[in-house]
């Protein structure tokens, strides 16, 4: 294992964490001040923050990646499913 020296995340309730099949991206679903938020981190660049996604109507309960790690799939507690292309 490689030790990560600095890794910052907002304080909130962590709902789900998922690492992409390519092991290059980690997605973290949080509840911050009643605002469902997903943080995307680049593992290969020292867990640098790649993107923050928010404005969801409900908490994100499931995170998944496509087999090729090019797409992020999120499911909320209202049954909504959201697809995002991961920019490399």
Indicate the pTM of the whole model: 0.82
Three-class DSSP category at 71: strand
Q: Is 38 helix (H, G, I), strand (E, B) or coil?
A: strand
Nearest Cα neighbor of 47 from 74, 12, 17, 71 is 17
Q: Tokens at residue 61, please?
A: 């309960």
Q: What is the pLDDT of residues 1-44, one digit of tens each?
A: 556 555 555 567 888 999 999 999 999 999 888 889 999 999 99
Give percent above pLDDT 90 in the chain.
Answer: 61
């Amino acid at each position: 294992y490689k030790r990560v020296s600095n890794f910052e995340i907002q304080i909130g309730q962590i709902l789900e964490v998922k690492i992409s099949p390519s092991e290059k991206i980690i997605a973290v679903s949080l509840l911050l001040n009643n605002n469902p938020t997903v943080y995307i981190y680049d593992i290969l660049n020292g867990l640098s923050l790649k993107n923050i996604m928010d404005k969801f109507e409900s908490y994100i309960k499931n995170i998944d990646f496509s087999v090729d790690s090019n797409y992020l799939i999120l499911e909320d507690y209202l049954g909504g499913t959201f697809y995002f292309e991961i920019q490399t």
